[in-house]
Homo-oligomer: A and B are copies of this chain.
Amino acid sequence: MARRKTDSDWVQTAFSSLREAGYRTGGARSQVVELLGCEDCALTALEIDRRLRAVGRASVYRTLEQLEGLRLVQRVDLGGEAAGYERVSPGGHHHHHIVCESCGKVVPFEDPGLERAIKRVSLEASFEVAEHDVTLRGICARCNG
C-alpha cells in the first residue's frame, strides 16, 4: 500500500504553498511534508510521530492542521481510533478507501464513475463543496475465508 517513490511534485507544491501562506521553513514541518510525500495512503498523526523521532508530537499535529487548511492534505476517518491524513495532489486524481472490519486492512481505490456522481451532487448542492471522501466497509477476501 505504501509506495516508496516520493511524489516530488506534491512536496514541491506543498513547500511553495506553505511559503506563500507566510509560513517559515523549519525542520519539523519539512520532515512531515517529506514523509507525507512518500506515502500514498493515509497515515495517522501518531504513526508520523513515531517515524519522525526527532519531531515533537505537537509539531506533527500543527503541521497537519496547516496542510489541511491549505488543502494539501486531507483528513480521513478509517474507523480506527486515530484520524488518518494523506496528501491531496492538486488537480490530480485522488482515491478512496475500503476498510476491512475484521482485520483493519485499508485498501485504496479509484473510480471515475463515482467521482462523476459526486461532482454532480456537489454542483447541485447549496454548499460550495471543496472536498469529499468516501469509505466502504466490509470484509476482505482473506478474512472472508
Contacts from A to B (Cβ < 8 Å): 75, 77, 79, 83, 98, 100-101, 107, 109, 111, 113-114, 116-118, 120-122, 125-141, 144
Task: Tell me whether B117 and A139 are in contact (CB under 8 A).
Answer: no
Complex: how many Å from CA A126 to CA B107? 10
Task: Tell me whether A98 and B144 are in contact (CB under 8 A).
Answer: no
| Closest Cβ–Cβ distance, residue A114 to chain B (whole Å) | 4
How many monomers of this chain does the complex have?
A: 2
Task: Tell me whether B128 and A144 are in contact (CB under 8 A).
Answer: yes
Task: Tell me whether A127 and B114 are in contact (CB under 8 A).
Answer: no
Complex: how many Å from CA A140 to CA B113? 26
Complex: how many Å from CA A128 to CA B140? 6
